[in-house]
Chains A and B, each alone.
Chain A
Amino acid sequence: MKRRKVIGLAGAGVVGAATAGTVAWRMADDPVAPAAPAPDRIEFYGERQAGIITPAQDRLHFVAFDVITKDRDALIDMLQSWTAAAARMTAGKEAGALGAVGGVPEAPPEDTGEALGLPAADLTITIGFGPSLFDSRFGLRAKKPAALADLPKFPGDTLDPGISGGDLCIQACANDPQVAVHAVRNLARIGMGVVSVRWSQLGFGRTSSTSTSQATPRNLFGFKDGTANLKAEEATLLDEHLWVHAGDGPDWMAGGSYMVTRKIRMLIETWDRTSLLEQETIVGRDKGEGAPLSSKAEFDEPDFAVEGDDGEPLIAQDAHVRLAHPTENNGVRMLRRGYNFVDGSDGLGRLNAGLFFISYQRDPHKQFVPVQTKLARLDQMNEYIRHVSSGLFACPPGLAAADDYWGRSLFG
């Protein structure tokens, strides 16, 4: 995937432009920064957390944690350790200064080692704070944003609580799966005694483009996904739909974004024996090009009014693209960043496959919730999907420099 390497570099530049040049390289403050950014390295520090409008990497390892300590200082201490390790790992370095083989032989290695010799692979590590963190344990009740209120139950939800929610989450994305797993594994290890892994999810192929420089990928239904996604280059739209403004809620979230995760099992076996015509009718786009059924090219705006010879709209009333489209949802937009998954098989002779949906938005209750409410009620696609896990996390703004740490504005 040579093309993506180039995109990674270009994308990083574009990010700066998109945010009016406010993303500065802060090498002087960053002890782990190299002399110049490597082509496969995404800057960890900046106004925004990396991993949101960063051109979507190919691989995901997502993990949600429960905080198991009652000691607020221990949690803060861990967040500081996490920040330092994340800064190192996103720079292509080992989790700790002594690394996998640099310590004394009697001690377990500081880094777990499986990423030795691998490049940074555009690794981004993005943190989020879940609603449950804001209970009575750490004195954060008053700092809980209204936007972080629990999501409602949607019609048809078959959520497994064991793989839903969490006090904290880490989204690790990279173009090498081992690099992403290495990041999560080392953070989990650092967190022993403070946090415990609640659930985790691997994703093997991105299902969204977050930059105009990227081709639109396909989900496991075989369709292009994320054509109408928010993109890094759309600064005005990002400002309106993605980033939390000062005054939206508590100050600590200004400049951040809210993440919704939904693990969506796809019943691919039944989908695969559905006719092409029906598949395209359900999606509302053609399978080859990804064009709306009303139009010719992928990026043509869908025209929901156009009717066929039978007098019915070319894009059905309950087609996915219509139900989810901004023009049908008061202009609501989200930045989607999902990944395909196959978690082995389900014991019934079927692949346990689907889409790990991730969206970022300024307020999930004004963006994700109304759209999903409509989809859950009306979408023809529901026959082929099951929502089995749900998560909501507040992702604070980026860190200014190496003396800053994840959660400082929240706990400070």
Chain B
Amino acid sequence: MRTPRLLAIVAAAAATVPLAACGGNDEAGTASGASGKITVDASDTECKVAAAESDAGTVTFAITNKGNKVTEFYVYAAGDRVMGEVENIAPSLSRELIVELAAGTYETACKPGMIGKGIRNAFTVSGSAPALTEDAKLAQATKDYQRYVKSQTGALIEQTTAFVNAVKAGDIEKAKGLFPIARTYWERIEPVAESFGDLDPKIDAREADLAPGEKWTGFHKLEKDLWVSKDVSKSGPTADQLLVDVQTIVDKSETVTLSPVQLANGSKGLLDEVASGKITGEEDTFSHTDLWDFAANVEGSQAAIAALRPAIEEKDAALAKTLDERFASVEAALEKHRQGDGWALHNTLSEADLKVLSDEINALSEPISKVAALVAGK
């Protein structure tokens, strides 16, 4: 099926990826040999990873869900930092995870039912295959983005503190005003936040995301208290916990360096968030402040692209120009809904308004989806 010109990157990696035999898995040798991909057979009770080690560089996992539950696959670095993840793999589906790994020890995990710590396996990466970041422009991109993250985390902790204080002081109106502002800084750097695994749900879980019996914490719990119950007299502990969790994210993010591919996927991921959660009004279902999050996601996406822009410009100037135009077009479309310092509430937008925004996000997301391959295929 595959044409010879395919997979320049993985083909190169294929020669160096040691294909560790995997006891009891007959398919491992053949399945991972041809393409350099490491096959992962996930079932409801097992997570058979065809190789336990790899050379440093771009590593591709091909996950097949052979169980009956929806599953996820993760690669964790020390401290459960997510290096890459594939979510929502339905039974009998196959998905790929491409992740850039430096030498070190990692863990892989399948999460049948999408809950818990998952079924873990050790994964060792050795050698010093040239990482993408050796390209000077790409290296600069990761530095630039790191700087952006730092600028946002400062504001995030400041605004979250103000929000939490307002909640604890019982000042509902003030807290309502600060809610979308604090979230703006959160939404801009979500790709970073998401790399810390369970902190993201603690801070940002929606009521509908919870498993039965799971404790609900974070922004959206307080959102419901403010907009629905209109009673924050018992919200203090949730507010305190939110601040602790946000502080943890802020501290950890100082140490994070996103690779160019992670940056590119992050910029796309932020727009996917807009398309799936903000356009529909699912994100802020009580406050309807989704357009704040919408704007913040787009700004965060643009920041990641901005960091990569010199590299994009060099490799595909036409794409760089298209991205500039489409970002400008999204901003112009969104600007129509600006109200004062903020945005119109989601439930005041018509279907036609939302379709225009949806079209804009689609128009931007398609070219952005090409960036990861561009920066990987240097």
Size class of the contact patch on chain B: 20 to 34
Q: How many residues of A contact B (CB 8 A)?
A: 16
Whether the pair A105, B7 counts as a contact (CB closer than 8 A) is yes
Q: Which of B155-163, B173-181, B202-210, B362-370 contacts A (4 or more CB under 8 A)?
A: B362-370
Whether the pair A106, B9 counts as a contact (CB closer than 8 A) is yes
Q: Please name all residues of chain A whose beta carbon is closer than 8 Å to the beta carbon of B301 when the two chains form the complex.
A: none
Residue interface bits A93-117, CB-to-B below 8 A is 1, else 0? 0000011011111111000000000
B contact face: mostly helix, strand, loop, or mixed = helix
Q: A193 to B319: give the CA distance in the assembly, Å.
A: 14
B336 at the interface (CB under 8 A from A): no
Q: Please name all residues of chain B whose beta carbon is closer than 8 Å to the beta carbon of A194 when the two chains form the complex.
A: 363
Q: Please name all residues of chain B whose beta carbon is closer than 8 Å to the beta carbon of A196 when the two chains form the complex.
A: 355, 358-359, 362
Whether the pair B9, A104 counts as a contact (CB closer than 8 A) is yes
Residue interface bits B348-377, CB-to-A below 8 A is 1, else 0? 000000011011001111110110110011
Whether the pair B60, A105 counts as a contact (CB closer than 8 A) is yes
Q: Please name all residues of chain A whose beta carbon is closer than 8 Å to the beta carbon of B366 when the two chains form the complex.
A: 189, 192-193
Interface residues of B in 242-282 (CB under 8 A from A): 261
Whether the pair A104, B363 counts as a contact (CB closer than 8 A) is no
Q: A101 to B7: give the CA distance in the assembly, Å.
A: 9
Whether the pair A101, B1 counts as a contact (CB closer than 8 A) is yes
Whether the pair B362, A192 counts as a contact (CB closer than 8 A) is yes
Q: Please name all residues of chain A whose beta carbon is closer than 8 Å to the beta carbon of B10 when the two chains form the complex.
A: 104-105
Q: How many A-B residue pairs have CB under 8 A?
A: 63
CB distance from A104 to the nearest CB of B (A): 5
Whether the pair B8, A104 counts as a contact (CB closer than 8 A) is yes
Q: Which one, A98, A102, A104, A192, contacts B376 given CB within 8 A? A: A104
Given A192-B363, A196-B359, check contact A105 B96 (CB 8 Å): yes
Q: Please name all residues of chain A whose beta carbon is closer than 8 Å to the beta carbon of B376 when the two chains form the complex.
A: 104, 106
Q: Which one, A101, A105, A108, contacts B369 given CB within 8 A? A: A108
B98 at the interface (CB under 8 A from A): yes
Whether the pair B98, A106 counts as a contact (CB closer than 8 A) is yes
Q: Please name all residues of chain B whose beta carbon is closer than 8 Å to the beta carbon of A106 when the two chains form the complex.
A: 9, 58, 98, 261, 372-373, 376-377
Q: A104 to B98: give the CA distance in the assembly, Å.
A: 11
Q: Please name all residues of chain B whose beta carbon is closer than 8 Å to the beta carbon of A98 when the two chains form the complex.
A: 3, 6
A215 at the interface (CB under 8 A from B): no
Residue interface bits A78-105, CB-to-B below 8 A is 1, else 0? 0000000000000000000011011111
Q: Please name all residues of chain B whose beta carbon is closer than 8 Å to the beta carbon of A105 when the two chains form the complex.
A: 7, 9-10, 58, 60, 96, 98, 373
Interface residues of B in 311-333 (CB under 8 A from A): 326
B215 at the interface (CB under 8 A from A): no
A68 at the interface (CB under 8 A from B): yes
Which of A107, A189, A193 neighbours the largest number of chain B CB atoms within 10 Å of its CB? A193
Q: Please name all residues of chain A whose beta carbon is closer than 8 Å to the beta carbon of B356 when the two chains form the complex.
A: 68
Q: A102 to B58: give the CA distance in the assembly, Å.
A: 18
Q: Which 7 A-B pairs have the closest CB atoms?
A: A193-B363, A107-B373, A106-B373, A106-B376, A196-B359, A192-B366, A106-B372
22 contacts between A and B (CB under 8 A): A68-B356, A68-B363, A98-B3, A98-B6, A101-B6, A102-B1, A103-B6, A104-B6, A104-B8, A104-B9, A105-B9, A105-B10, A105-B96, A106-B58, A106-B373, A106-B376, A107-B370, A108-B369, A192-B362, A192-B365, A194-B363, A196-B358
